[in-house]
Structure 1
Amino acid sequence: MPGKWIWVLLLLQLSCYFSSGSCGKVLVWPMEYSHWINMKVILDELILRGHELTVVRPSSAIFVDSNETSSMKFETFPSSFNTDEMIDIISGIINLWTYELPRTTCLAYSPLLENLFRKFSDTWLNICKEAALNKELMSKLRKARFDVMIADAIGPCGRPTTLMETASRAEIWLIRSYWDLEFPRPTLPNFDFVGGLHCRPAKPLPKEMEDFVQSSGDNGVVVFSLGSMVVNLTDETANAIASALAQIPQKIIWRFEGKKPDTLGPNTRLYKWLPQNDLLGHPKTKAFITHGGANGVYEAIHHGVPMVGIPLFGEQRDNIAHMVAKGAAVQLDIRTLSSKDLLRALETVISNPLYKKNAMWLSTIHHDQPMKPLDRAVFWIEFVMRHKGAKHLRPLAHNLTWYQYHSLDVIGFLLACVATVMFLVTKCCLLAYQTVFKMGKKTKRE
């Protein structure tokens, strides 16, 4: 594994390991939190299509639950961390990134962010080593002879390697994004965009929640969630948010864990868990306050809901910036957030019809695809199985040495040619000069 972690927006890395048959035996190396939510959607679909899945997880896994009723087979290996310690490590990294990392200049931001990534990378590197050095686990996996491996972002390695080497072994990259969120850019043939593969038509809400939503009348509701990785806000921030929410006519459904804010209004209900997709698909939902995680952003796009973005860490700021540029969101800063800012942002996205119009335009683009994102993701996984890989789609740049990749051999040859020409020209000039000089001397003597 590389010495440092590089945050990647890629959800899945598909790589042919072990055997190359097409019997449908799939090995899965997942990540946690929202990554697992997306991964599990694909895995459930593969199971429905008759594939046999084995998920490798450390004993410290948080969301990847081996006790969950499923047709997946889980291989759990012992880890030096327990689940609570893993949660503390990740929460600490998130808090540092969200509240303490300076954002004034790149010179201040980049070195500290690199240190933060290194800490996160070291944690996962340790887990990878524990898996690779577990002889019983490795023996069991080799005997199983899997047809394909699905790894989330960066898969495990049994020997020291680099990020470039790991990435170059991927047959297909499935990107958790699409052109409703992204701006146009060239891509390689072994890349496909499957953003929103987890989105579904809205299902009925639980009765108590539905009654609360219906009580909003024509004003509707606002859905508020900062994702599964953020457990607590500071008291000051929570009270500022609650104060702003209490001043709008809409009812608020807020996913929140922690101390109940003192300024919480009667129009706001707190929940530890939300059926977010179903709420965003409800006809009374007017706006979505989000941290900008890919899952929530795509659910909002899927259902055409304008957003107020409060990005915290990772790619969230980039996601919200894209939504702002496309006229479907207003962005706020968690560090300077005030009640007045949030109130103004909510009034803007709810009262200005342009935000709803732009959100519905993105929703139309998202739905107007020849294949659903989930079907496309499954197709490419099965494609890799059927064709024993997808090497015909992989760029040959992966086969080049580092000096060939950077064209140093070509540059060296051209420099040598230029140097040779300059040497020859210089020699010719010197020879001509010497000839003329000698002839001049000879003339003078005569």
Structure 2
Amino acid sequence: TSSPSTHCTVSQSIGSKILVVPVDGSHWINMKVIIEELHSRGHQITVLHSHNSWYIPSNSSIYASIHTPTQENKWDSNVFNRYVHIFLNLRSYPGFLCQFYQQHWLATQLGMGHKGMARVASTMLDDSVLMRKLQESKFDLMLTDPALTAGAILGSYLKLPMVFNVRGLNSGEAHYVIAPSPVSYVPVPGSELHDQMDFLERTKNMLHYLYSLYEQYFVINPAYSEVFQRHFPPGTDLLSLQLSADIWLFRSDFVFEFPRPTMPNVAYIGGFQCKEAKPLPAELEAFMQSSGEHGVIIMSLGTLVSSLPSEITETIAAAFAQLPQKVIWRFVGEKPSSLGNNTLLVNWLPQNDLLGHPKTRVFVSHGGTNGLYEAIYHGVPVLGLPLVFDQFDNIVRLKVRGAARVVEVRLLTKENFLEDLKDLLENPSYRKNIQHLSQLHRDQPVSPLDTAIFWIEYVIRNRGAAHLKSAGLSLPWYTYFCLDVAAIVMTITGTFIWGSVLVCRCLCCRRSRKKMKPE
């Protein structure tokens, strides 16, 4: 039984007022899971978002909405389809150059994106009506996805305890901001490397790391200088605000990620959105059962990319037509002429429920983290078709563990696509390996979602978690690496050696003079 003091501390966090600043698109899908759970526990949720969001509805029974006074023009969802075409062109370069061209292109996009986000933050902070409304609401906590920076900036301005629901941050994966990341075995985001690197791979990893520093300090940070000069104390920068967050709920699991150093205020919640499969709608269930012993292949490119180039789509459809398996393909656009009778095209599919169905044999995925964690959770091998951003790194992690195969979309042919599919279907090692990952992922003392809720309520109860923040995060870089100590030691050592040489020279000169006098 719980002690009276335990009941007291738990009750202090129930009914708290939480301000949520989410990221739209697929990020909202997992943020909503946490919001629903917080609501079920009696917390009052307010979501700050644009009035013309893609996925975030303004009218909800579980939260109140406050609209930001920015982003008047609705975002063009086709932009991600254009990104796919750009990445396909960049992938034509030789392997070593390919990732650097991708990183350079992303740095250019980041520069423009962060300038836009700085304008969003500035407009919000300049809106006296909005700021007064938020301050008078007396929120107990800010919960935000820092992939967009407005939440961290606003939370710091309002002096609220902050919890991050985080994976990507600034120019890459968020570990590189908060935790030590030795480049000898921790692959830099975008490098498409694993943690067993030879000399050339470590060299490549170091070059990626140096370029990421350039992105952070010369591309991203300057975009916010005006906002910080006007609204924050001198010396404030983006990293200092982000590092002031109390708890980082990291959407990662070391079943999927490579082991690496971490920090006390990081809690891992990878796969928290996964759940047991629900019964399918009658038509989908009938289609699944019609596959017989061959089973079903599920294909989805996620929520942001609606279509591939038509020639690639035709190639994939023709390959599917030659398989005895049935196929359910989330597809938007003109129906491929080579589509077989075994393939069902749908505008939307219940992905988690399909991956948890006993008839599902393979998941063809672009490599988004939500889908890959669902594949791990349900133990379904993956054929990766990475398209943009972190998807290339994500698929590498499953491939290294023997649970996936990868097809380079630019080089995709009917033959190599079929070859990889058949290998996944016929070679039992892939299913065995990913089912082992599934077992490891599920073998936890507390579910990832319960872990997330505990730490959110922990920060509310204790008004922060300053005792979990490392002092190293506030040190200047030269102090962090003890370069000042090294400089002093080298100076003292150099002075001692120089002094010793002078003394020896003086002694030698005296002796030589004494010998010369008798002569």
TM-score, shorter chain, exceeding 0.5: yes
Aligned match for 2:68, one of 77, 99, 102: 77
Paired AA for residue 36 in structure 1: W
Cα distance change, pair 79–97 in 1 and its aligned pair in 2 (3 A): farther
Q: Tell me how far apart the structure 1 counterparts of residues 397 and 47 of structure 2 sit (CA, whole Å).
A: 34
1:53 aligns with 2:45: yes
- Which residue is equivalent to 1:25? 17
Q: Tell me how far apart the structure 2 counterparts of residues 172 and 98 of structure 1 sit (CA, whole Å).
A: 37
Q: Tell me how far apart the structure 2 counterparts of residues 89 and 220 of structure 1 sit (CA, whole Å).
A: 35
Alpha-carbon shift at residue 198 of structure 1 (Å): 0.5
CA contact (8 A) 1:29 1:150 kept: yes
Q: 1:137-180 deviations in whole A, cap 9, x for unaligned?
A: 11111111222111103442254253421331111111111122
Q: Tell me how far apart the structure 1 counterparts of residues 350 and 482 of structure 2 sit (CA, whole Å).
A: 52
Paired AA for residue 33 in structure 1: G
CA contact (8 A) 1:77 1:134 kept: no
SS at match of 2:248: strand
SS at match of 1:219: coil
CA contact (8 A) 2:91 2:410 kept: no
Aligned match for 1:114, one of 87, 107, 110: 107
CA contact (8 A) 1:220 1:251 kept: yes
CA contact (8 A) 1:102 1:109 kept: no
Cα distance change, pair 62–320 in 1 and its aligned pair in 2 (3 A): same
Aligned match for 1:213, one of 282, 285, 288: 288
Paired AA for residue 97 in structure 1: F
1:381 aligns with 2:456: yes
Bigger shift: residues 69-78 or 301-310:
69-78
Alpha-carbon shift at residue 89 of structure 1 (Å): 4.5
SS at match of 2:293: helix
1:152 aligns with 2:227: no
CA contact (8 A) 1:54 1:75 kept: yes
1:87 aligns with 2:77: yes
Alpha-carbon shift at residue 279 of structure 1 (Å): 0.4
Paired AA for residue 259 in structure 1: E
Aligned match for 1:181, one of 253, 256, 261: 256
Alpha-carbon shift at residue 102 of structure 1 (Å): 5.6
CA contact (8 A) 1:93 1:120 kept: no
- Which residue is equivalent to 2:391? 316
Higher relative contact order, chain-length normalized (CA < 8 Å, sep 6+):
1
- Which residue is equivalent to 2:368? 293
Q: 1:226-271 deviations in whole A, cap 9, x for unaligned?
A: 1011012111010011011111011110001011111111111111
Bigger shift: residues 404-413 or 107-116:
107-116
1:127 aligns with 2:111: no
- Which residue is equivalent to 1:138? 131
Q: Tell me how far apart the structure 2 counterparts of residues 293 and 213 of structure 1 sit (CA, whole Å).
A: 24
Cα distance change, pair 321–363 in 1 and its aligned pair in 2 (3 A): same
Structure 1 unaligned regions, length at least 5: 1-20
TM norm structure 1: 0.90
CA contact (8 A) 2:49 2:65 kept: yes
Q: Tell me how far apart the structure 2 counterparts of residues 108 and 71 of structure 1 sit (CA, whole Å).
A: 44
Paired AA for residue 409 in structure 1: D
- Which residue is equivalent to 1:96? 86
Alpha-carbon shift at residue 328 of structure 1 (Å): 1.0
CA contact (8 A) 2:246 2:459 kept: yes
- Identical residues among aligned pairs (%): 40
Correspondences of 1:122-271 after superposition (within 5 Å): 122-154=115-147, 155-156=149-150, 157=153, 159-160=227-228, 161-271=236-346
1:418 aligns with 2:493: yes
Alpha-carbon shift at residue 294 of structure 1 (Å): 0.6
- Which residue is equivalent to 2:35? 43
Alpha-carbon shift at residue 438 of structure 1 (Å): 2.2
Bigger shift: residues 146-155 or 225-234:
146-155
- Which residue is equivalent to 2:509? 434
Aligned match for 2:475, one of 384, 400, 423: 400
SS at match of 1:264: coil
Aligned match for 1:343, one of 401, 407, 418: 418
Cα distance change, pair 284–90 in 1 and its aligned pair in 2 (3 A): closer
Instruction: Report the aligned-residue RMSD.
Output: 1.9
Cα distance change, pair 404–166 in 1 and its aligned pair in 2 (3 A): same
Structure 2 unaligned regions, length at least 5: 1-11, 158-226, 229-235
CA contact (8 A) 2:326 2:342 kept: yes
Q: Tell me how far apart the structure 2 counterparts of residues 109 and 78 of structure 1 sit (CA, whole Å).
A: 33
Alpha-carbon shift at residue 103 of structure 1 (Å): 4.8
Q: 1:182-214 deviations in whole A, cap 9, x for unaligned?
A: 222222111121111011111111111111111
Q: Tell me how far apart the structure 2 counterparts of residues 320 and 208 of structure 1 sit (CA, whole Å).
A: 32
Between Structure 1 and Structure 2, how many residues are aligned?
422
Paired AA for residue 339 in structure 2: L
Cα distance change, pair 27–97 in 1 and its aligned pair in 2 (3 A): farther
Q: Tell me how far apart the structure 2 counterparts of residues 102 and 61 of structure 1 sit (CA, whole Å).
A: 35
Cα distance change, pair 289–216 in 1 and its aligned pair in 2 (3 A): same
Paired AA for residue 145 in structure 2: D
1:357 aligns with 2:348: no
CA contact (8 A) 2:382 2:403 kept: yes
Cα distance change, pair 196–292 in 1 and its aligned pair in 2 (3 A): same
Aligned match for 2:57, one of 45, 48, 65: 65
CA contact (8 A) 1:93 1:116 kept: no
Alpha-carbon shift at residue 78 of structure 1 (Å): 2.5
CA contact (8 A) 1:60 1:86 kept: no
Bigger shift: residues 118-127 or 363-372:
118-127
TM norm structure 2: 0.78
Q: Tell me how far apart the structure 1 counterparts of residues 104 and 272 of structure 2 sit (CA, whole Å).
A: 35
